[in-house]
Structure formats: structure tokens, C-alpha cells
Amino acid sequence: MADQRRKFPRELKIEAVRRVIDSGETATEVARSIGIDPSLLYGWMRQLKAEDKEAFRGNGKPTAQDEEIRRLRRQLADVTEERDILKKTAIWFAKQSR
């Protein structure tokens, strides 16, 4: 049977990265102390550095930027539909006035 993927809480990830940054411990020492591969800890460090407060959101939780893009796409679809309705209405009125 395949090994199940382990999940780590956001707080553990942040704490592990902080231990490497703030204390004199190396990433390898911290990784061994919490029972993970050092490469995983290095990945957490990169992610925290790149995303800061958005890091370690979890699956299915979009970033604020993704939410804004989704909102704008919905708004664009609504405006496009309204424009198409107005075009059809203008054509209909133009035919009626002949």
C-alpha cells in the first residue's frame, strides 16, 4: 500500500523556519528534530520568504490576489452580457424605426 502524505500544521512550519532564522540552529538540525527531510524545510523557507503572510494557506484556499481576479472576471462577464443585450436592443429598435 502506498505511503500517505503527511500533513503539517501551518504553525509548525512557521515555527521551524523561525528556529532556523532566529536561532543558531541549522536547517538540518531543525529538520531532524521535527522528523522531516531538510529539503522539505528548505522548501518551507522559500515559500515563507516568497509569500510571507499568504504562505501555507492549505489546499483550496485562494490568495487575496486570486480572489480579486475571480471577482473581476465575474464582473467582466456581467458587463459583457449587458453590452450584448444593449447591442441587440439597439438593432431591434433600428429595425422597428424603418
Domain boundaries, the chain: 8-59, 62-98
Q: Please provide the DSSP assignment of 12-78 as one string.
A: HHHHHHHHHHHSS--HHHHHHHHT--HHHHHHHHHHHHHHGGGTT--TT---HHHHHHHHHHHHHHH
User: pLDDT of 80-90, one tens digit each?
Assistant: 999 999 999 99
pLDDT at 90: 93
Q: Which architecture characterizes domain 8-59 according to CATH?
A: Orthogonal Bundle (1.10)
User: pLDDT of 18-74, one tens digit each?
Assistant: 999 898 889 999 999 999 999 999 999 998 888 777 777 767 777 788 889 999 999
